[in-house]
Amino acid sequence: MAINKEAAEVYKSLGVKPAITASGATTMYGGSKLRPEVYDVMNKASSVMVNVDELNIKAGEAIAKMIGAEAAIITSGSGGGLILQAAACIAGSDPAKMSMLPDTTGMKNEIIIHKSHRFAYDQLYRAAGAKLVDIGDGLRVHPWMLENAINENTAAVAYLHCNFVSRRALPLKTVVEIAHSRNVPVIVDAASTLPPRSNFTKHIAEGADLVQFSGGKGIRGPQGTGILLGNKELVDAAYANASPHQFIGRGMKVAKEEIVGLIEALRIFLDEDENEQMERYQKMCEKVLDAFVEVPGLKVEIKHDEFDYLVPTVVFTFTKEWTGLERDEVLQRMEDENPRIFLWQLGNPDEVGIEPLNLDEDELDIVIEKLREKLIN
């Protein structure tokens, strides 16, 4: 079904235009759609009071069991989880140190990171008081560079697993081997890497100590949630720094309704047949491909791989033979529609994408119709 008119009025009453999101699970555009079972359990949970500390602990235990991890906690999005990763590695569970953050005087506070892994959200490590130490030049890095960067002030080595990130970094297994030989933990940001579901355990199997995932993207849980899993001692330290405790993570609380909502979303996500899910997305992409494949000057292809396109995605490339609207004009005109339509703004200036994760069949038809108007008419 297309956008629910009654539901859309909630936003229209505030002067906010509803949108169709063809860009995948994008935080700027609301993350992902909650499953009906998720908001049903959240609604039920809202009428009952509990001890939130107890709920957090039990929820973490449930998630660890579901995924097959040593330990886990629910975080305030992936961003909140990155702050807790850094806090756990710098201050541990020591209240005296925890109460000082982000002042890290007298503590190990350096987090090593590949220069090719530097991105906007590494600021969250610094928010906990970490000092980031780059290795490599963005194009190449050698094991000796990591070995040489580790010293008595090293708190952790950070590793980014994200689409469109340079694969010139050292393999995670190599990073783990070097870091662990010096008793340094490895922390991974894998926020947007689900599906495939195998990524839940991939990094832990390769030796990572803490791994962060978003709860509001591929899992389709509440957007303000995340999952931090890994080594029990470090997970416990992360939670010691988190809400409802009065340390650096106090402001990054997760509501009790969001906690149970995420668990329900995760249960459904893990039970879902991934092959059927990918086949459904593939068919949606083929429908888009058929609608545009013969447009002159436009290259249209379906991409699906383990690095950049984790679900089937239609990629449009405006070639040198293209004589129509510029890409940015197409994007803007789609956003000017009512409802707004958000396409995936890929990194290359001559590309745009449609990822079907947040689309139903009716919405896909609207996207195709409106995009044809911009590209053909």
Listed by start position, the domains of the chain span: 5-30+273-375, 36-271
Whether residue 2 is predicted with pLDDT greater than 90 in this model: the reply is no
**How many percent of the chain have pLDDT more than 90?**
92
Question: Span 94-104, mean pLDDT?
Answer: 98
Instruction: Name the phi and psi angles at 221, rounded to 5.
Output: -95, -175
Identify the band that residue 122 occupies on the pLDDT scale cut at 50, 70 and 90: very high
Enumerate long-range contacts of 101-109, CB under 8 Å, 24 or more apart: 101/128, 101/129, 101/241, 101/247, 101/248, 102/127, 102/128, 102/129, 102/248, 103/129, 104/129, 104/130, 104/131, 107/155, 108/152, 108/153, 108/154, 108/155, 109/153, 109/155
pLDDT tens digits, 214-239? 999 999 999 999 999 999 999 999 99
Q: Considering Cα of 166, then 168, then 173, then 177, what sign does the dihedral take? A: negative
pLDDT at 272 over 60: yes
36-271 architecture in CATH?
A: 3-Layer(aba) Sandwich (3.40)
Average pLDDT over residues 287-310: 96
Q: Which structure tokens are listed for 185?
A: 């933990």
Look at residue 363 in the predicted model and tell me its pLDDT. 97
Mapped onto helix, strand or coil, the DSSP state of residue 87 is helix
Note whether 337 and 370 are within 8 A (CB).
yes
Percent of the chain having pLDDT more than 70?
A: 99
Instruction: Write out pLDDT tens, residues 308-346.
Output: 999 999 999 999 999 999 999 999 999 999 999 999 998
| CATH number 3.40.140.10 is the correct assignment for the domain at 5-30+273-375 | no
Mean pLDDT of 75-93: 98
How high is the pLDDT of residue 5?
83
Judged against a pLDDT cut of 70, whether residue 247 lies above it is answered with yes
On average, the pLDDT of the chain sits at: 96
Domains 5-30+273-375 and 36-271 share a fold: no
Return the structure tokens found at 336: 């000017």
Average of per-residue pLDDT across 67-95: 98
pTM over 0.85: yes
163 residue type, one letter: N
Label the pairing between strands 154-160 and 131-135.
unpaired
What pLDDT is attached to residue 1? 55
